[in-house]
Structure 1
């Protein structure tokens, strides 16, 4: 599938839910443009950030220093630094942006 994505001129990425072990993606992470680590259970916005997902981010960063690692779920002013310190370099913030009086 990764070859087909690349052949179509696109960049392959994988998302892992909280219940998915990081070991499931490590064997082929070097072939990916990005790994999205969900820090909430997917489904709806406004959920609380799951800090226990940060070891997954750290394991990915340690194994693949140049990989884009995105985190999504429960991110806002109090959690962005936690994700960055673990090794994330792409942040998705939905509810915290849309409900903010000053999204900047």
Structure 2
């Protein structure tokens, strides 16, 4: 376990005095699965990059939004509805990992 903080879309970054070791930025409003990824939340991710901590995002993630999050400096994603709403969750996980790894390591 590591200490961290989670921010809902409406929570200003100024509310966080000490981000500890990691920050989870919610890219949708919590509790309601299947929402659209809020691109503007990447500004919050950028705000915490100087702290050199683990950045996570949760909400509305899929093949295209994972790339956006990774480009913004996110280290880890949470993919709930994408995986658990799929008819074949294992296939979705495999496709996401394959795409993300191919994008991260294009020469391998």
Q: TM-score, normalised by structure 1?
A: 0.79
Displacement after TM superposition at 1:78 (Å): 1.1
Secondary structure at the aligned position of 2:14 is classed as: helix
Partner of 2:82: 96
Deviations 1:23-63 (A, max 9, x none): 222x312xx121110000111211110001000001111x2
Q: Of 13, 30, 39, which residue of structure 1 is paired with 2:4? A: 13
Please state if 1:58 is matched with 2:49: no
Give the Cα separation in 1 of the matches to 2:79 and 2:63: 10
**Consecutive unaligned residues in structure 1, runs of 5 or more:** 1-9
The alignment partner of 1:35 has SS state of: strand
State the number of aligned residues: 90
> 1:20: how far off?
0.7
Matching residue of 1:85: 71
Structure 1 match to 2:14: 23
The CA RMSD measured in Å over matched residues stands at 1.3
Distance, in Å, in 2 between the alignment partners of 1:51 and 1:28 is 24
Larger fraction in helix: 2
Uncovered stretches (5+) of structure 2, i.e. residues with no partner? 95-108
Q: Which residue of 1 aligns with 2:104?
A: none
**Distance in 2 of aligned mates of 1:47 and 1:80:** 15
